[in-house]
Amino acid sequence: MAMARRAVKAEPLAGALADAGLVRGDGFVGGWVGAEERFAVRDPATGEVVAEVARLGVAEARKAVDAAQAAFAGWSVTLPQDRAALLRRWYELILAHREDLARIMVAEQGKPWSEALGEIEYGASFVEYYAEAARRPDIEGVTSHLPDAEVEIWREPVGVAALVTPWNFPSAMLTRKAAAALAAGCTCVAHPSAETPLSALALAVLAERAGFPAGLFSVVPGEAAEIVGEWCSDARVRALSFTGSTEVGRILYRQSADTVKRLVLELGGHAPFIVFADADLDQAVEEAVKAKFATSGQDCLGANRFYVERSVYEPFCARFAEAIKALTLGPGMADCDLGPLIHERAVEKQEAHVADAVARGARCLVGGARDGQGPLFYRPTLLVDVPDTAKIMREETFGPVAAVTPFDSEEEVLVLANATEYGLVAYLHTMEPRRIYRAARALQFGMVAVNRTKVTGAPIPFGGMKQSGIGREGARWGLEAFTEIKYVCRDWH
């Protein structure tokens, strides 16, 4: 692959920003690196090319690890207050440019403006949180069990960390990983999804402006399988933190085996949303709309299947239908409730899940079709009486289709909720305190949201059970994932 530089065709987006320098189409590999071959990033709302980005590959992936390995020697021994200060500078720059960063995200991802702005602030909160954590490294200890010996336990950064992120949260998934890894004393090489590389590259621009030493944080856009495959096989990469589909997670898990890497896998979800008859029905409907339609349904935390106790099933479906009919759909900058989906495959999946459910006897009360605004707009949709055999009750739909079905007993619904390979988040609506504990215990999910939808944030352990992943992000667990424990036993004499 040739390495000649070429100008990026990014004028329309850059022109809309206060700081045009945030749109970069080159990779950041210990410094900015171009390529003759470039790939188009398109606005999902219009199909227009937003920018052309360098298609990097194995050579640049290796070069990024060379740079990260070289930077590790200094960064791993940087004093806590200095590490914290650098992360803090990055955080302040992200916040200062939040509107431009959100504008970039809307252009490549399509999500509504308010959600994009919310994601930038959510993503920045991890940088702030880990800047503070970097200043106060944990001190752990145990009392010696051996005579005449002193026992010490140290936490050390694991080394170079590879970070691989998806298109649905192109900024926050990267800051959630990078801030934790950097606070732990690791250096990072990151690969963003081909649909949304600009958000990651804008974070690299701000990292450079914050004064990150060369090699501390590289962003390598291009051929995913080549770049990430190279990192998986490189023994110098000691940790891999991946957010994406369970399917790709399995591949990377296998590919990391030969070099026995530390792994964090944040994978797919298939969240159940359970409404008992004693729930506050208005609140349940309001939360159901948020749990299903945030990020236009393209959210790993998105509720995919709604189980409603039979005695309140009809009123719930009627109110849910009214709430869905009121939702607005439009390009991200119009700041409607929903935007376009990311690509044609995503729209086809909605169509396939709706057709399959209807063929099995479900009724479509709202939506159920593409919208005339553009090929990637799919209307918010409500399916009721969906049988358990329907694909939508088994697979992640990752779009704006809600599937509702009635249940008759607590035992029955908990079995249905757990009958999946996924275990990321479950939503529970009931006012009965003992049932909350019984159900929250029984649900095999890493996160359980009770009578609410929003549960995420930097100070909590985010992650899934079963095939929704390995490890947790956020809080001290997110930082510890990038560390090794060293035990030192010293004779006194």
Q: What's the first-to-final CA gap in the chain, in angstroms?
A: 61
Contact flag: residue 303 with ligand NAD (CB under 6 A): no
Q: Which of 57, 110, 166, 367 touches ligand NAD (CB under 6 A)?
A: 166
- Give residue for tokens 């970097």: 134
Contact flag: residue 445 with ligand NAD (CB under 6 A): no
**Tally of CA atoms within 13 A in the half-sphere of 398 that contains its CB:** 21
For 263, the token pair is 């792994």
What lies within 8 Å, CB to CB, of 266 at 6+ separation is 173, 241, 242, 243, 244, 300, 462, 463, 464, 468, 469, 473
Q: Verify whether residue 266 is a known catalytic residue.
A: yes
- Give me the residues paired with residue 40 across strands: 52
Contact flag: residue 447 with ligand NAD (CB under 6 A): no
Least distance from ligand NAD to the Cβ atom of residue 348, Å: 14
Considering only residues 461-480, where is the footprint of ligand NAD by CB under 6 A? 464, 469
Range in contact with ligand NAD (rule: CB under 6 A) among 101-109, 118-126, 158-166, 331-339: 158-166
Q: Which of 228, 357, 386, 481 touches ligand NAD (CB under 6 A)?
A: 228
Least distance from ligand NAD to the Cβ atom of residue 468, Å: 6
Least distance from ligand NAD to the Cβ atom of residue 235, Å: 18
Give dist(CA 83, CA 71) in Å, integer. 13
Contact flag: residue 266 with ligand NAD (CB under 6 A): yes
| Closest to ligand NAD by CB, 210 or 264 | 264
Contact flag: residue 248 with ligand NAD (CB under 6 A): yes
Q: Verify whether residue 351 is a known catalytic residue.
A: no
Give dist(CA 142, CA 165) in Å, integer. 37
Range in contact with ligand NAD (rule: CB under 6 A) among 16-24, 41-49, 238-246, 426-434: 238-246
Phi and psi of 191, rounded to 5°?
A: -125, 115
- Number of chain residues interacting with ligand NAD (CB under 6 A): 30
186 contacts 158 by C-beta, under 8 angstroms: yes
What lies within 8 Å, CB to CB, of 147 at 6+ separation is none
Phi and psi of 241, rounded to 5°?
A: -120, 115
Least distance from ligand NAD to the Cβ atom of residue 142, Å: 33
CB atoms within 10 A of CB 65: 24
Q: Which helix (H) or strand (E) holds 126?
A: helix 113-135
Q: Which of 169, 273, 320, 445 touches ligand NAD (CB under 6 A)?
A: 169
Site string for ligand NAD, 401-430 (x = CB under 6 A): -----------------------x------
Coil, strand or helix: which one is 491?
strand
Phi and psi of 363, rounded to 5°?
A: -110, 135
Contact flag: residue 257 with ligand NAD (CB under 6 A): no
Range in contact with ligand NAD (rule: CB under 6 A) among 7-15, 39-47, 266-274, 286-294: 266-274
| Closest to ligand NAD by CB, 76 or 245 | 245
| Closest to ligand NAD by CB, 256 or 430 | 256
Least distance from ligand NAD to the Cβ atom of residue 70, Å: 25
Q: Which of 119, 208, 266, 396 is catalytic?
A: 266
Give dist(CA 454, CA 290) in Å, integer. 8
Contact flag: residue 224 with ligand NAD (CB under 6 A): yes
Give dist(CA 113, CA 125) in Å, integer. 18
Q: Which of 10, 29, 119, 168 touches ligand NAD (CB under 6 A)?
A: 168
| Closest to ligand NAD by CB, 300 or 458 | 300
| Closest to ligand NAD by CB, 166 or 400 | 166
Q: How far is CA 289 from CA 21, 27, 286, 380, 462, in A?
A: 37, 38, 5, 10, 22
Least distance from ligand NAD to the Cβ atom of residue 135, Å: 26
Considering only residues 341-360, where is the footprint of ligand NAD by CB under 6 A? none
Range in contact with ligand NAD (rule: CB under 6 A) among 109-117, 168-176, 279-287, 347-355: 168-176
Q: Which of 186, 188, 232, 300 is catalytic?
A: 300
Closest residue to bound ligand NAD by CB: 244
Give dist(CA 369, CA 138) in Å, integer. 53
DSSP 8-state secondary structure symbol assigned to residue 162: E
Contact flag: residue 244 with ligand NAD (CB under 6 A): yes
Q: Sort residue 165 into left (φ over 0), alpha (ψ -120 to 50) or beta.
A: beta
| Closest to ligand NAD by CB, 164 or 289 | 164
Radius of gyration of the chain (CA): 23
Closest by CA to 298, choosing from 169, 178, 208, 406, is 169
162 contacts 239 by C-beta, under 8 angstroms: yes
Contact flag: residue 194 with ligand NAD (CB under 6 A): yes
The residues of the shown chain that bind ligand NAD, judged by CB under 6 A, are 164-169, 173, 191-194, 224-225, 228, 243-245, 248, 251-252, 266-269, 300, 396, 398, 424, 464, 469
Task: Tell me the catalytic residues.
Answer: 266, 300
